[in-house]
Amino acid sequence: MASVGRMTRVGKYELGRTLGVGTFAKVKFAKSVETGEGVAIKILDKEKILRHKMVGQIKREISTMKLIRHPNVIRMYEVMASKTKIYIVMEFVTGGELFDKIARNGKLKEDEARKYFQQLINAVDYCHSKGVFHRDLKPENLLLDANGTLKITDFGLSALPQQVHEDGKLYTTCGTPNYVAPEVVKHKGYDGAKADLWSCGVILYILMAGFLPFEDSNLMSLYKKIFKADFSCPPWFSTSAKKLIQRILDPDPLTRITIQQVIENDWFKKDYQPPHFETADINLDDVDDIFNESRELSDMVVERHEEKPVAMNAFELISKSQGFNLGTLFDKQMGHVEREIRFTSKLPADEILSKIESAAKPLGFSVKKHNYKIKLEGEKPGRKGHLAIATEVFEVAPSLHMVELRKSKGDTFEFHKFYETITTGLKDIISKTHVETSGSVRT
């Protein structure tokens, strides 16, 4: 795969397209030059980490991922470092986020929700047995592989045993408000296992209901609902599922059900399949080496410069399509809410990007261009901060380009509202065949 502007090789991996961008890191797809296997590589900037005094957190995340060997947790293969970057090589899964599945299809049937919940509880219970608490469990941090198996990711907020206070509690407030346990917000110390289980209960509710149990535009009103466990189950929940959720979403951690009690619950045990996973002795001594200047990989980082859009091969094109159905790659499906949107164009790449820039600026977005990529950022904050959109042009064929707009920060629904607005200014660049077929580009 040719890269936009440059192709970088790190160790035995050739870096490709960007999968996601965060404040301190970006995640790129990469391919092993030895086996052809696809992986995800999290790239962290050492200078930013040192400037924000996050060395401890990064070491914790890497240590956590090395400790966990479970079929329902994203696997970390290896860690490498150059003078300026840290490269965390992880398992790459192609099924997307569980969030997208819910947003796309709405609530799940109870049996399917139970299957995902069983996998989630299996993984969380295993992490706890290693003394690891996730502390930010939510559908966005739950991925699906090609077989539909759930995989927990993003241990950036996880806590290891050494963070636990001498009274056995954690004292750092973190997590996402709608999913966070009441005792975490109260700043009085909390049991990491009980707090994680509360988040699992919120996730189970969402899987079965299609919406959040606790939601309010006012943060204090939201917390009041959480403190009182002010929620109700929809009528389609079975009686046994309702009872289990009510026992998990108990605002008092002392009377809240435990994970072991959940596993023994009759509703949970239906069609239950215990996990099979390997055990291994994990050495964490090398985690400190990633900040050791004497152990650099700079001689293994190779860059080649090319001035053209990404050349996308057939496999990559198909892998971006749900269910390997190319028809769904460009066509609209009603009610489909995703973090990225794509369309095709027969115009030259430079003209496509120029049109996008012209359409975005009047909507209050700043524009940063780099070769065949554009980063758009909203000047006004939205529900979840400033909306940021990464745009990239891929060359499918000499006369055909695919354009991908991917939300990198902010609210998903605001992203789709932005796209619906900007589409008016892009009508002359979107291939008419796809617009006529579906009535609109895919959202």
Catalytic-role residue among 100, 125, 136, 191: 136
Nearest to 60 by CA among 363, 366, 405, 290: 290
Residue 358 has pLDDT above 80, yes or no: yes
Q: pLDDT exceeding 70 applies to what percent of the chain?
A: 74
3-state secondary structure of 151: strand
pTM attached to this predicted model: 0.61
The DSSP code sequence of 45-78 is: EHHHHHHTT-HHHHHHHHHHHHH---TTBPPEEE
Place of tokens 């030059």: 33
Give the span between the Cα atoms of 46 and 298, in whole angstroms.
14
Q: Is 100 a catalytic residue?
A: no
Confidence label for 8 from pLDDT (cuts 50, 70 and 90): confident
CATH superfamily of 6-92: Phosphorylase Kinase; domain 1 (3.30.200.20)
Highest mean pLDDT among 170-179, 310-319, 338-347, 366-375: 366-375
For 58, how many CA atoms within 13 A lie in the half-sphere containing its CB? 27
> How do residues 268-281 score in pLDDT, each as one tens digit?
999 998 887 666 66
- Give the per-residue pLDDT at 1: 39
For 46, how many CA atoms within 13 A lie in the half-sphere containing its CB? 14
CATH code at 310-438: 3.30.310.80
Residue 226 to residues 103, 105, 242, Cα–Cα distance (Å):
23, 27, 17
Name the binding residues for ATP.
Answer: 42
Residue 322 has pLDDT above 50, yes or no: no
> How do residues 97-115 score in pLDDT, each as one tens digit?
888 888 888 899 999 999 9
Confidence label for 250 from pLDDT (cuts 50, 70 and 90): very high
Residue 163 has pLDDT above 50, yes or no: no
CATH superfamily of 98-269: Transferase(Phosphotransferase) domain 1 (1.10.510.10)
Q: Any idea where the domains of the chain sit in the sequence?
A: 6-92, 98-269, 310-438
Name the binding residues.
Answer: 42
CA 50 to chain centroid, in Å, comes to: 24
